[in-house]
Structure 1
Amino acid sequence: MSLGEDMLAKMDFRAPAADAWIDEDGTSTDPASASPSTADLAGALAPLGKQTRPNGAVYHPRAVAKAFEDVALLRDARDHREHVLFYGPPGTGKTALCEAAFAADATIEHDGLESIVGTADTTEADLLGTFVQDPRSGAFEWRPGPLHRSVLYDVPLLVDEIALIDPRVLSVLYPLMDGRDVLRIPMNPDLDPLPTGKGWFVLGAYNPDVPGARMSEALRDRFAHHIEVGTDWVLANELGVPADIIEVAKNLDQQRRKGDLAWSPQLRSLLSYASTERRRGREYALANLLAKVPQDDRDLVGRVLTAKFGEIDALRLGLRFES
């Protein structure tokens, strides 16, 4: 037996007795009665109902931990400066939820949401801002970036695809997220330190399966809530997506979760499929869906679609059209 195995064998993993929990005053507390259950607190946040996004689309709220409405939870997290990190495949509604929660929020002075979509080339200046030269006068003026604007206007900041940004760049968020609550912009010494208001906090969203995705533990630990976002299959059906394609999508999603696929159709792709099927027919919609699949996954997805619907080829241009 190795040293590590010997240590594990000697460790006691049994739950401690109730009287093992001792308060500061020396009295014992029963852990089972010390904290309320999530179900007990389910009524603490009143649901806010459907929300309209800036593009006019209606957002249908979803449940978190089977107890809280997502929109209400986000607004409560903002009120308590509890930063939120979403992760999941693209097209599941991460960005849509953030827009629905804050794009038209009448509970704060400045409604809205500042956002940035991260890439491997995102710089600190992309977040904070930069000097821009006036082509007529030649003078340089400060142009605030999304982080500066979010603090200036006291609105939440959404960092989409946050895991693609160099962790060294994102260190600019650390002092704002850990309680120091003051934004300093060293590249513009004329700007006074700017304190954060009650409407500011950080939302992060990313796809953990995208190549190059990484986050520092220092940043991850500053997010109070880590929430996985997947597709609501029931909602997809209610929004008009055919049941048979939902069945296929659920099967593919299970294979993605097991690691057999890197991509599977989520809500956005399913809504696009339903619209295409209504306007162009099933055969066209299936061929179009297959053409969306990344090349590495296309053979497997094609076999699944063929098994369900018959032979399918990815959409492509054919011979000259004869009228």
Structure 2
Amino acid sequence: MTTPTPAQAAPTVPAVPTAVPVLVGKARPGQLRAAVAAVLTADPGSLYSVSDLVAALGNSGGAIGNACDTLVTRGEAELAGTGPRRYKANAATTAAAVAAVVSPRGTAASSRPRAPRPPAPVPGPAEAAAPAPSTPVPTTPLTPAPAPANGPIRRPNGAVYYPRRLAGGISDVEGLRKLRAAGVPALLYGPPGTGKTSMAEAAFPDLITVAGDGDTTVGDLIGEWTQKADGGYQFAYGPVVTAMLQGRALLIDDATLISPKVLAAMYPAMDGRRQITVKAHQGETVTAADGFYVIAGHNPGVHGAILTEALSSRFSTQIRVETDYDLCRRLGIDKGAVTVAKNLAVLVAAGDLGWAPQLRELIAFQKIADVLGTATAFANLVGIAPEEDRDQVADIVAKTCGRRVTALALGKQI
């Protein structure tokens, strides 16, 4: 976080609580954006990078970067600098923060009900000829230039991505950029935690990310009516329309967890028409600007993830993404942990096991090992394996470590 200088005087904003609230449980649509606004308003004179906000809220850099861009688009925050991007509060940020379902750190809640959607205003005779007012979306977003495709690339959360080779000799990042230029949508598939989202973030600095799940609605993707500070309603475009109007890349992460009926609302934007009809906004027709591009992420085998024929047919390029064990060693991850992961992956490929740790789990392993020791990290690795696979995972760990390891648990009093 940057210490404000006299030139960065804070705008006048209402008083905010001294403790920065954080989201409890799974964020609903708009909640992460409101939580980011809450952090900005808690210290309105400071500039926050995406990494600062990741440290404060714990969400992924892609999701938080998307929330920040949406706040700027809606006029509810300011982009104060690039390289890295830094954001600050403005006079409208406090109102944007009140929509979050938040709780002080250390409290817990199992779930929160989704707030009812406000009814769309009924247009009068004079309004019937044109769509009702909507939140304006700038058509020329401020985004950094793409980094070279063959070297390390810094992602929005500050982590470094190392490009990998595709068939044909080019890097994965260069391949995605060429596909975008040709208008060929790409589907990235593979086990969770292998780097699909990281790959897309590295390829496209203008990326908008949507985290899909079974509760995702058409309104979450296309747009919906939202209540303004003055009590009125305004139509706010969703990430799909925003990406279309600004000609940006759009990642639908976990796309196969979203209902096919919901995804169908954006299919016309992905074919030759490059248009969608926003039914909730009086049938407005939106045409995609040059540069608009769709990528999707799919985790085969995850409960509820269904790759329908309709969805698959819209992605001419489908790239399998697996853990790069050479990269794991390059990142300094314990050699024994990498060996365990590779051996487990062989069993998974043979159909003899259902789970193997991927890049995400191996990075977490090393962080735990650095803090609590390698033995504890291996015990945790056994513990996070699905219960039906845990014994086999423990066997492989024992062969590598030379001793039996059980799942991480509390023992007797010290």
- TM beyond 0.5: yes
2:264 to 150, 166, 171: 171
Q: CA deviation at 1:47?
A: 4.3
User: Contact between 2:149 and 2:203, CA under 8 Å: does it hold in 1?
Assistant: no
Give, in angstroms, the shift of residue 159 of structure 1.
0.5
Supply the distance in 2 between the matched residues of 1:261 and 1:120 (Cα, whole angstroms).
Answer: 27
2:241 equivalent to 1:139: no
Structure 1 residue 242: Cα displacement: 2.2
2:140 equivalent in structure 1: none
The answer to whether the 8 A contact 1:167-1:215 is kept is: no
Against the structure 1 CA distance between its residues 102 and 228, is the aligned structure 2 distance closer, same or farther, given a 3 Å change threshold?
Answer: same
Say if 2:196 and 2:321, in contact at 8 Å, map to a contact too: yes
Measured in 2, the distance between the counterparts of 1:315 and 1:96 equals 29
Tell me, which stretches of 5 or more residues in structure 1 are unaligned? 1-45, 104-111
Q: Which residue of 2 aligns with 1:57?
A: 159
Conserved in 1, the CA contact under 8 Å of 2:251 and 2:294?
A: yes
Say if 2:226 and 2:235, in contact at 8 Å, map to a contact too: yes
Contact 1:160–1:206 under 8 Å retained in 2:
yes
Please tell me whether the aligned partners of residues 156 and 199 of structure 1 are also in contact (alpha carbons under 8 angstroms). Answer: yes
Quote the Cα distance in structure 2 between the aligned partners of 1:67 and 1:318: 52
Mark the structure with the bigger radius of gyration: 1
Alignment correspondent of 1:272? 364
Identity of aligned residues (%): 39
Q: In structure 1, what is the equivalent of residue 172 of structure 2?
A: 70
Which residue type is aligned with residue 257 of structure 1?
A
Match runs of 1:163-242 below 5 Å: 163-189=256-282, 191=284, 193-242=285-334
Give the superposition deviation at 1:49.
2.1
Is 1:161 aligned to 2:254, yes or no? yes
Show CA shifts across 1:268-307 (max 9, x none).
1112212222222111111111122122221221121122
**Which one-letter code corresponds to 1:49 in the other structure?**
G
- In the alignment, which residue of structure 1 is the partner of 2:195? 93
Displacement of 1:187 in angstroms is: 0.8
The DSSP-based 3-state class of the residue aligned with 1:187 is: helix
Checking the alignment, whether the CA contact within 8 Å between 1:209 and 1:262 is kept in structure 2 is no
Letter in 2 for 1:169: V
Report matched runs for 1:108-119 at 5 Å: 112-119=206-213
Structure 2 match to 1:124: 218
Q: Which amino acid in structure 2 is aligned with residue 101 of structure 1?
A: A
Matched to 1:51, the amino acid is I
User: In 1, Cα distance between the equivalents of 2:389 and 2:217?
Assistant: 32
Q: 1:4-15 alignment to 2 at 5 Å?
A: none
Equivalent pairs, count: 266
2:64 match:
none
Report the counterpart of residue 149 of structure 1 in structure 2.
242
Counterpart-to-counterpart distance in 2, 1:306 and 1:268: 22
Q: Give the alignment's Cα RMSD to 1 decimal.
A: 1.6
- Aligned partner (choices 378, 392, 400) of residue 300 of structure 1: 392
Structure 1 residues 168 and 320, CA gap change in structure 2 (3 angstroms): same
The farther-off stretch of 252-261 and 207-216 is 252-261
Aligned residue for 2:375? 283
Work out the CA distance in 2 between the residues paired with 1:271 and 1:133.
41
Unpaired runs of at least 5, structure 2: 1-147
How far, CA to CA, are the matches of 1:190 and 1:91 in structure 2? Answer: 39
Moved more, 48-57 or 93-102: 48-57
